[in-house]
Amino acid sequence: MRLTFLGTGTSFGVPVIGCSCANCTSTDPRDRRTRHGALLHLAGGNLLIDTPPELRLQLLAARIDRVDAVWYTHLHADHVHGIDDVRIFSTRGRGAVPTYIPEEMKPQMTVRFPYIFSDRIAVPRGTTKPRLDLTGYQEGMAATVLGARITPFRVPHGPTDAFGLRVGRLGYVTDAKRLPAAAREILAGVEVLVLNALWWGSPHPTHFNVEEAIEAARDIGARRTFLTHLTHKVGYRELAAALPPGIEPAYDGLTVELD
């Protein structure tokens, strides 16, 4: 199994429009962070985690030419609004793309994108729309996706929740403010862990700051932990140097091999 980080930035992305801070003007490519997305190369195909606004550019940059299924963590705009870029995968004769979404978020998804999900909106002859076949998932109930067993778990994310996932020895958590006991139980024994983090200090109501992510990483005890969903307040080089051993910042395009 291989994990490719497609986008490792927070909702504003890095650089932030109109910002001239050291990280926004950095020439290090690892300081250019698009919105959150990742790809899991599973035995049965490619599973896309979230459809961020830069999806097309991310897939081109990572030279990924097929997506066989999509997994949504939650429905914030920075995780969903590149959904139209899935269209290319459902127009190449493979049919609707199997798409996994928290069961409780299905109604909101169909309301937000009626042109995709409402049968009452017809596609004009000669044109196409993305076709995604939604399957709801629930905390703790493992789903078999592209031959892999995926166990989702709920994480508090301010007024809403997001869902992390465990696949084999990988634990993947974005947009969490806390890891509840049930999540920690499912994550026990992972070899590689991904956690969200924004910046050092100044606790945020809906996300881990770096200190909170370090604490969670130590508690889970994975051999390698990667931080994603980072803001322009942390530069790759400085953050990498300051993190404890075994914890490192992810960056767009980074790939990690797992057994």
- Chain residues in the site for Zn ion (CB under 5 A): 16, 19, 21, 24, 76, 78, 175, 232
For 145: left if phi > 0, alpha if psi spans -120 to 50, otherwise beta; the answer is: beta
Smallest distance from the beta carbon of 230 to Zn ion, in angstroms?
11
Closest CB 125 distance from Zn ion, rounded Å: 38
Q: Residue 81 Cβ, how far from Zn ion at the closest point, in Å?
A: 11
Q: 213 and 223 in contact (C-beta within 8 Å)? A: no
CB of 50 vs Zn ion, minimal distance in Å: 8
Question: Which amino acid does the sequence have at 244?
Answer: P
User: Nearer to Zn ion by C-beta: 53 or 129?
Assistant: 53
Nearest to 35 by CA among 202, 247, 196: 196
Report the residue number, 82 or 131, with the smaller CB distance to Zn ion.
82
The helix or strand, by DSSP H or E, that contains position 241, with its residue range, turns out to be: helix 236-242
Which of 226-239 are b and which e, b meaning 16 or more Cβ less than 10 Å from the residue's Cβ? bbbbbbbbbbbeeb
Burial class (CB in 10 A: 0-12, 13-18, 19+), 63: exposed
Nearest to Zn ion of 12, 45 (CB atom): 12
For residue 88, count CB atoms less than 10 angstroms from its CB and return exposed for 0-12, middle for 13-18, buried for 19 or more.
Answer: middle
Q: Is 141 within 8 Å of 152 (Cβ atoms)?
A: yes
Shortest Å, Cβ 52 to Zn ion? 9
Q: Select 42 or 250, whichever has its Cβ closest to Zn ion.
A: 250
Other Cβ atoms within 10 Å of 198 Cβ, number = 22
For Zn ion, the closer CB: 90 or 249: 249
**Helix, strand or coil for residue 111?**
helix
CB of 145 to Zn ion, least distance (A): 22
Work out how close the CB of 51 gets to Zn ion at its nearest, in angstroms, rounded to a whole number. Answer: 12
* Residue 59: other Cβ atoms inside 10 A: 23
Nearer to Zn ion by Cβ, of 21 and 121: the residue is: 21
Which of 5, 90 has the CB closer to Zn ion?
5
